[in-house]
Chain A
Amino acid sequence: MEELDVEPTTTNIPASEGNHLGFVWGPGDILVYDTIYKSSGSVGTCSSFIHEVRKDEDIYSPILRKLFNESHHIFVGLQTIREDLPNKNKKTQFVSISKNYRSVIRACMEELQQVSILLAIELIWNLCEVLFIDAAPGGSLLLHLLDWVRLHKADVDEKAQEVLQSESPTEHHGYWDVVLSYLMQGRMDEARQMLVKWGVLKPAARSMYKQMDNLLSKMPVYNPGGSQTLTEFDVKWRHWHDMVDHSLQDNSFASDPNLELICKILMGDEDAILEQKDLLSTWYHFLVTRLLFSHPTVKPTELHYYAQSCLAMFDSRSAPEPLDSILLAAFEFDIHQVIKDCSIALNNWWFVAHLTDLLDHCNLLQSHNLHFGSNLREFLLLEYASGLFTHHSLWQLAVDYFDHCPEFGRVYLEQQIEHVPLDTERKALKVLRICEQRQMSEQVRSICKIMAKRALRNNRLGSALSWSIRAKDAAFATLISERFLQDYCARGTFSDLDLIDNLGPAMLLSDRLTFLGKYREFHKLYGENRFSDAATLLLSLMTAQIAPRSFWMTLLTDALPLLEQKEVRLPPKVNERNTWEPEMSSLYNLHQKKVLSTINWLVNVDV
C-alpha cells in the first residue's frame, strides 16, 4: 500500500465497549455496528445500534446550500462555453467566471457566522485566479497581488474611520498604525491623506513632512494599459528607490522615528517591515509588501523564492499551517499540490471540484491520468457529485455534474438514480424525465414498474396503466387487463369504466388490453340494442385470437342471448349455406375448431 499523505482521523463510536466493530461503506458515509466479539477474543453482548458516520456535514447547512445551488448554475454555464472562441476572449470569460464563484463564496460568508473556512477558501481561490487563470506577467502581477492582500485585510478602513472620527486623529494611538498599514498595502494616496493631518499640526516639522510627502507622491506605479514598458518602469522605479535611499542616508527624517520608519519601509528594509508583524498579521502580506518596496517588477517564476523566505522570516517558530502550505504551493505554481492539499484539508469536495474544473478548462492541468481510469478533474467532480447525491434534496444538482464527466459520469448516475426514494408521483416523474433524457431505458422501465406495481396494490388501475404506457411495458398492461377481466368475471360488471371507455390508442399496447377495450365495446353495443353490430364484434373477438383462453366460455355465454334475438344477421362473410366457414381454418387448433363448430351448430339450430 502506498504511504499515507496524512494521518487518518479517529472517530469514536459511542456505546461499543471494546467490541469489534463491523462496518459497510455507503455512498457518502459508513454504517458501523457493534458485534459480540471482544478484542480480547471472548464473546459477549453488544448494543443493537447501527451508527451512521458521516464525514461531510456541510451539505446539510442551509446557508451552504445557496453556495451549492449558485455554483451549480455557474458550473453548467462554464461547461457550455464555446470551444471555438479565440483564447483571449476565453481568458476574460474564465476570469469573470472565477470572480462569479468568488462572489458566491463571499455572499455566503456574509450570512454564515463561522467564516474562517470560507475566508480561507476565498483567499486560496483568489490567489489561484491571480496566478493561474489571469496569469498576470511581471508588473501587473504585483498589482494583482496588492489587490488580493487588500481584499483580505479589510480592517484597515475600519481602523482609519475610527481614527478620523476621534477628536484629534494624530493623537489617536492607532494613527501611525493606519498610516503604516496603508503604506504596506501600497495605498499611497490614502497614506498621504492621513499624513497631511500630522503635517499640518507640526509646523516645525514642515520641511520633513513635505519631503516625505514628495517621496510618497513620486513613487512610480506600473500602468499595464499604458505605453510605458516594464523596463522603463523599472528604471523609473530604481531612480525613485535611490531617492529614498538618499533621504535615509542623509538623515532627513532622523528626528522623527515614525517618519524614519516609513522611509526604511519605503526602502524595502526587511527588518523594518517585519517589525510591523502585528499590522501585517500574515506572512503573505509581508511577502507582498516586501515585493512592493524591493522588487515590484517581480515575475511569476520568481515568486516562490520570495515566498519561501518570507514564510520562514515571518514565523520561524511554529510549524506551517495547512493554509500556509497551500499558499506556498500556489506561489510555486504547483497546481496539483494545491489541489491535493486542499482535498486533504477540507471536509467537502466543493472547492477542489469547482476550482479544478475551471483550471482544466483553462488547460492548466496536465493530462496525466490517475491509475483508476479517469483524470483528476473527473475524479473530483465525481466525488463531489456523489456526495450531493446522498442529500435528500441536492441530488438534482448532482445530475448535471455527472453529465459532464465523460468517462464514468453515466455509470455513476445510473447506479445512484435508482436510490432516490419515490414518495410522490411528481418526484417519480422528475426522476423519470432525467432518465429519459439520457436514454437510460433500464432505469425508466424499473421506475415505471415500481410505480405501476404500487398503483396496482392500491387498486389504482388507471395510474398503473398510465405508468405502463410510459414504459411501453406491454407485459404489465396485460397484467392490468387481466385484473379488469377478473373483476368482471367476479362481479359481472366493469370497474373504472372511465378508463376502459376512453383507452384510445393506448389499447394497442397489449393484445389483452385491446381485447378488454373491444369487449367493453361489445357490452355497450348490446346495451344500445345494436345486436347485429354486437354479434359481429363478438365473432371477430373470437376469431382474432386475442381473447384469452380462459375467457372463451364467457364469450360463448355472451353469444347465447344474441342468438335468441331475431334481428341478428350474420356478417356477409358467411357463405350461401349460412354456415360460417373461415378460409383460414388451417390456422385453428383442435380446441378452437371445436368451439367454432359449436357456434356453427348453434347458428344452424335456429335456421
Chain B
Amino acid sequence: MEGTNAKYVSQKISKTRWRPVSSSSLQQPDVFATGSWDNEENKISLWSIGEEISGMEAEFEGDPQLLCECKHGGDVLDLNFLDQERIVTASSTGAVSIYHLHPNSQTLSVSQCWTRAHHYPCDDAPCTGVVCKSPEIVTVGEDGRINLFRADKQAVIRTIDNADSSTIHAVTFLRTAEILTVNSIGQIKTWDFRQQSNTPAQILSQAGDRVPLHCVARHPNQQHIVATGGQDGMLCIWDARQGKAPASLMEAHTAEMWEVHFHPTNPDHLFTCSEDGSLLHWEMTSGSETASFLQGGRNNSVLSRSAVAPAGGGQSLSAWLSGDSSKGRLETTHMLPSQTLSVNSLDVLGQCLVCGTDGEAIFVNRQVPV
C-alpha cells in the first residue's frame, strides 16, 4: 500500500507507541517509541518522522529517524507513554521501569524501576502488560498478579496476589479505579480498586471454547464497549454491563491477534494486528449505499462518505454491538503488503499509524483514512 514504507531496524519490534500530542494542538504525532524483544540486548528507541510535507510528495516522506535509544533488561513485553516525557515498560524479567526523556540532551534513561514487580516464589515472572493513567500505573504478569503503582512512589500501592490462576495477558482501564484484564483461559475480569476484596467484580467469558485472550481495548467514548482478540484471531466485541457472551464475534485473522485499538478520536475505526502478518483496519459505516469504500488497500483520495456519517456517537455504539446487522456495515482493509512476519504491535493517533513486525521492520502510514 502506498504511503506505507518499511524501515528495517535490526531488532524485532515487540511494541510501538506514539508519543501523545498535547490535546490543544491539532498536530499530527511525530515521535514514536519502540521496544525490542528476543535480542541479547534489548532496547527502547525513540524515532521521529519529522514534519509533514504537504503537497504531492506527501506519500513518500522520509524514513523514521532514530532520536535516541536506551538499553532494556529483558524483552519489552509492553510499553506505554506515561506523559510526554516518560515511558513505562514491562519486561520479561518481571521488572517495570520508567524511562525519562531528557528534552535538552534528547537521551533516554531509567528514572524508576520496580525490579520484582512480577515473580514466582523462586523465579522471575514476565510482566505481560502495563497501562497507565498518570500518575497511576497498573501492571499484570504471567504470575497472575495485579500491581498498582504510582509514578513517584517506590512502594507498591496495592497488589492483588493470585488474582488469576492463569497468565494475565493484557489490562486496560475501564473507568477510574476500575480495570479490565484478560487471561489465557479466555476470561475477562473487571476489578475495582476501591473495593478491599481481592476478587474480581465481574467475570465474563465465552460460552463455547475458552480461547486464550491476548489483547483488550475499550471504546473511547462508550465505556462499556470492550473489544478483545485472542489465540484464534477472532475479534469479539463485548458489552461489559451484561455479559455471559460477547455481543458480536467476527473472524479477523488466521493466527493470534496481538493488539486491538479503537481510534481515539474516531471510534468508528478499529485496528487489529496479528501473528499471521496482517494489520486490519475495520470501519463501521452507516448503512446507506454511499458508504465509503476502501478499495483493497489503496488510498482512494476521493472517499465518498455518507453525509450522515457520525463522528463516533450513538450510531457507532449500537453498530459495534450488533456486529454486521443492517444497522451498520463493517469494512475491513489490509494495510500492509502481504507476507510480512508477525505484526506484533500497532498504534494509531490522528491520521498516523505505526506498527512493528518480527521481520525487524517498522511501517509508518501518515494518511490513514479516518
Contact = CB atoms under 8 A, between A and B. Distances in A.
Interface of A: 62-63, 65-66, 69-70, 72-73, 76-77, 80, 392-393, 396-397, 423-427, 429-430, 433, 437, 458-463, 465-466, 469, 495-496, 498-499, 502-506
B183 interface: yes
Nearest to A70: B8
A424 B165 contact: no
Interface of B: 8-12, 37-40, 75, 77, 92, 120-121, 123, 125-126, 128, 142-144, 162, 164-167, 183-187, 189, 200, 203, 205-210, 212, 231, 255-256, 275, 339-342, 358-361
Across chains A and B, which 6 residue pairs bring their CB atoms closest together, nearest first? A462-B166, A462-B165, A496-B165, A66-B8, A65-B10, A62-B10
Contacts of A430: 275, 342, 358
A69 B361 contact: yes
Given A65-B10, A504-B209, A72 B167 contact: no
B142 A502 contact: no
Nearest to B204: A502
A503 B125 CA distance: 25
B150 to A, nearest CB: 27
Given A77-B339, A393-B39, A506-B210, A460 B205 contact: no
Residue among A63, A396, A437, A463 facing the most chain B CB atoms (10 A cut-off):
A463
Contact of A433 (B142, B255, B361): B255
8 contacts: A62-B10, A66-B9, A69-B361, A426-B77, A460-B142, A462-B166, A466-B166, A498-B189
Nearest to A79: B339
B40 A463 contact: no
Given A65-B360, A498-B200, 12 more contacts: A66-B360, A69-B8, A69-B10, A425-B142, A427-B37, A460-B165, A462-B167, A462-B183, A463-B184, A466-B167, A499-B165, A506-B210
A506 B209 CA distance: 7
Contacts, number: 134
Contact of A393 (B12, B205, B210, B342): B12
A397 B203 CA distance: 40
Contact of A498 (B75, B123, B203, B209): B203
A27 to B, nearest CB: 17
Contacts of B40: 392
Contact of B77 (A424, A460, A462, A499): A424
Contacts of A462: 144, 164-167, 183-185
Nearest to A495: B165
A581 to B, nearest CB: 38
B112 to A, nearest CB: 23
B184 A466 contact: yes
A396 B341 contact: yes
Contacts of B231: 429
B142 A76 contact: no
B165 A461 contact: yes
A498 B210 contact: no
Contacts of A80: 339
Contacts of B166: 460-463, 465-466, 499
Contacts of B358: 396, 430
B89 to A, nearest CB: 14
Contact of A69 (B128, B167, B184, B360): B360
